[in-house]
Amino acid sequence: MIDQPLSWFRPEINNMQGYQPGEWPDLNANILKLNSNENPYPPSPQVLAALSEVSAELLRRYPDPKATDFCQVVGKTFGIPADWVIAGNGSDDLLTMLVRACAGSATTRSTAEKERMLAYPMPTYILYRTLAAIQPAKTVEIAYEMQGDNWSLPVEQLIAAQAALTLVATPNSPTGHCVPMADLRSLAAGLNGVLVIDEAYIDFAGEEAEQASLALVKAFENVIVLRTLSKGYGLAGLRLGFGIAQPPLLAGLQKVKDSYNVDAIALRLGAAAIADQPYKRAITQKVMAARQQLATDLQGLNFRVWPSFANFLLVQPPDGKAKLLCEKLKENQIMIRYFNQPGLDDKLRITVGTPAQNERMLLAIQAWL
């Protein structure tokens, strides 16, 4: 008898859907790309100056596996010790490390130990589900309660789940709302496992919000805050993010990360970007002003617009035909994001562009309506 041929992949991989990033058009195509929440403004001139100083010697050697200089700049900028910082190849890399280190079934797990699960409110960043499927680890997905325009975090249910890893994005994607600090504090206090506060969009939520979660990291050793240079700093192409947590939590992540997870160019350019906070503030404030204008203009076209603290808006077209509008805009060389998911399939996520870009999109929407 012939044996069944061995599958190339583990059953979990055969059965899962891969993460679907936003479509990536050619750089030279005249396409307005408002589907992946990139910053419409370029990175700081200091970043380009650092790029011009990249030497052959820097490239010949492996990068610093501990990202020492970068972590020092982050520590100094945010008022935390440098050994409370870990660098990642984008915050996606840090999420991968967290799932690898904390979640899933372990062969040496005693039967007394509970399944090491992931818990998160929905809707949120769908990569959490993808990473769980790869690990594999079970997930507990708990719906946000929508009260009017407010998304209310199911704090008690998340605490009751007692997952190994609880993930909360704030500002959240695709909703754009900020989770109240009091809710995060209750979670941190009530969870035995790790609380991940994913602040990819925090730079668009105001300076006070940027500081708030750092107080939680100081107060709770099970909390890690994730930040990225992809959004506020205009560096999505560089792939650099960082985590802030107390050293015992970072020690576990150091064990599972790729040795040289961040390349030498990213570390140099990232340090220059972080050091130039005035530039970041200037571009994020421009985006925040454009967000306000775009929200007003879309409301004027009878769209429902949820309040947003990020560089995108969650909106509902007047006829609810979100997919159709997304397709029509694409015919006009404008890309926005449609999610084929229950609860989201009548809505769209639109990245805030420059005022001129937003105007181009509004004109195309008006023409269609």
CA distance 44 to 55: 20
Residue nearest to ligand PLP (CB): 90
Burial of residue 65 (number of CB atoms within 10 Å: 0-12, 13-18, 19+): middle
- Window of 73-81, 84-92, 144-152, 205-213 that interacts with ligand PLP by CB under 6 A: 84-92
Q: Is 203 in the site for ligand PLP (CB under 6 A)?
A: no
Closest to ligand PLP by CB, 50 vs 200, is 200
CA distance 139 to 346: 25
- Window of 64-72, 88-96, 206-214, 326-334 that interacts with ligand PLP by CB under 6 A: 88-96
- Of 144, 237, 204, nearest to 351 by C-alpha is 204
Residues 6+ apart with CB under 8 A from 278: none
Q: Is 125 in the site for ligand PLP (CB under 6 A)?
A: yes
Q: Is 191 in the site for ligand PLP (CB under 6 A)?
A: no
Closest to ligand PLP by CB, 261 vs 364, is 261
Figure out which of the listed residues 35, 39, 175, 230 binds ligand PLP, where binding follows CB under 6 A. 230
- Window of 11-19, 87-95, 210-218, 346-354 that interacts with ligand PLP by CB under 6 A: 87-95
Q: Is 165 in the site for ligand PLP (CB under 6 A)?
A: no
Could you count the other beta carbons within 10 Å of the beta carbon of residue 351? 28
**Binding track over 4-43 against ligand PLP, x by CB under 6 A:** ---------------------------------x------
Q: How many residues bind to ligand PLP according to rule CB under 6 A?
A: 13
The DSSP bridge partners found for residue 275 are none
> CA torsion sign, 299 to 210 to 241 to 193?
negative
Least separation in angstroms between CB 228 and ligand PLP: 3
Least separation in angstroms between CB 90 and ligand PLP: 3
Residues 6+ apart with CB under 8 A from 356: none
> CA of 61: how far to CAs of 65, 68, 255, 259, in Å?
11, 15, 22, 14
Give the strand pairing for 165-169 and 150-152: unpaired
Residues 318-347 that bind ligand PLP (CB under 6 A): none
Q: Is 200 in the site for ligand PLP (CB under 6 A)?
A: yes
The DSSP bridge partners found for residue 223 are 195
Q: Is 169 in the site for ligand PLP (CB under 6 A)?
A: yes
Closest to ligand PLP by CB, 213 vs 228, is 228
Could you count the other beta carbons within 10 Å of the beta carbon of residue 237? 11
Figure out which of the listed residues 228, 246, 308, 351 binds ligand PLP, where binding follows CB under 6 A. 228
Q: What is the CA radius of gyration of the chain?
A: 21
Figure out which of the listed residues 38, 92, 203, 276 binds ligand PLP, where binding follows CB under 6 A. 92
Task: Record the tokens describing residue 309, joined without a space.
Answer: 């603290």
What residue ranges bind ligand PLP (CB under 6 A)?
37, 90-92, 125, 169, 173, 198, 200, 228, 230, 236, 241
